[in-house]
Amino acid sequence: MWREKDENGMSDFLRNPSALTEHIIRVLQERNSRERIFPRATIELQTTSAVLFLLGRHFRNNKDPAEPSIILNKRSPKVKQPGDLCFPGGGVAPRLDSYLSKLLTLPFFPLARWPYWSKWRDQGQRESRNLALLFAASIRESLEEMCLNPLGVKFLGPMPSQNLVMFPRVIYPMAGWITRQTRFLPNWEVEKIVRISLRDLLNPDYYARYRLDFGPLYTNGKNGTTQDFSCFVHKEQEENEILWGATYRMVMVFLELVFGFSPPDIESLPVVFGALDKNYLTGS
């Protein structure tokens, strides 16, 4: 459990961003050395997306020091899955992202600064090309969605992929750390930026059972159906943000790999209620 590891000094990482990022880089590379990120020789671009698993420091207020946090977008009502928290990203634009992927490997650019890039490039041309292409897609989408400065990203490594449940899509998270940028300019796809500290994510008290009413999505407006999901409840001012679904699973994989943390069993969690409307799969 996290609290046992915390007593042994793991929380030092939360006070030392440099040590934390080096730890993340090493842990992800060790995992990727054991299991392949791309089990198939060729990725199916039509059903593939890349997201930037974005981390950085965040000041809760003027009194407390900055804390390592994940940085998420809240999807606007104009896109699919409105209101959900997600990492910036999207589908691959083959020509544009192929060109951008080459730029990212130049000296002083994020991939070239990653300590394991030369090893990936030397061991497998196809895998390194896939990695660069997906990282480029995540960077481009982050620039479009929130005006992220690509040169300010420190690449930490690729993470295990996630399959979406409601859509035929595979998501490849690319972990990145930003050091200086604190302000973002969301576009029409993003309602707002949400920052959640790693310290909160490592606190079992913030987890809940999300009892979700799917309403008319699969029942033609007749009888709604409900299903329970594990979730994290982020308290922001007077509003609660619910982290669930594929993004929640990505975060849990990250916390397990980096901190050895597992969330409480769903049966032991308090229930919070939610509902999806008819525009959830399409946007307004």
Encoding tokens for residue 102? 């080459």
What is the residue-level pLDDT of the chain in tens, covering all 284 positions?
Answer: 455 455 445 677 888 999 999 999 999 999 999 988 886 666 788 889 999 999 999 876 666 678 999 999 999 999 999 999 999 999 999 999 999 999 999 999 999 999 999 999 998 788 999 999 999 999 999 999 999 999 999 999 999 999 887 778 899 999 999 988 989 999 999 999 999 999 999 999 999 999 999 876 665 555 568 999 999 999 987 789 999 999 999 999 999 999 999 999 999 999 999 999 888 988 87
Q: Could you tell me whether strands 239-243 and 190-197 are parallel, antiparallel, or unpaired per DSSP bridges?
A: unpaired
| C-alpha closest to that of 128 among 49, 52, 32 | 32
Whether 102 maps to a domain, the answer reads: yes
**Residue 284 belongs to some domain of the structure:** no
What is the token pair recorded at 166?
């409601």
Whether the Cβ atoms of residue 210 and residue 272 lie closer than 8 Å to each other? yes
C-beta atoms surrounding 158 within 10 Å:
25
CATH number of the domain encompassing residue 188: 3.90.79.10
Q: Report yes or no on 178 lying in a domain.
A: yes
Instruction: Name the residue among 128, 133, 130 with its Cα closest to residue 118.
Output: 128
Does any domain span residue 45? yes
Question: With DSSP H G I counted as helix, E B as strand and the rest as coil, what are the percentages for the chain, rounded to 5?
Answer: 35, 25, 35
The answer as to whether 266 is a domain residue is yes
Q: What sections of 165-265 are H helices per DSSP?
A: 198-201, 245-259
* Residue 263 domain flag: yes
Task: Give the whole-angstrom CA distance, residue 187 versus residue 40.
Answer: 34
**251 in a domain, yes or no?**
yes
CA distances to 111, 137, 141 from 102, in Å: 9, 12, 17
Question: Which residues span the domain enclosing 24?
Answer: 2-275
What is the domain count for the chain?
1
Q: How far apart are CA 46 and CA 48, in angstroms?
A: 6
Q: Is residue 213 part of a domain?
A: yes
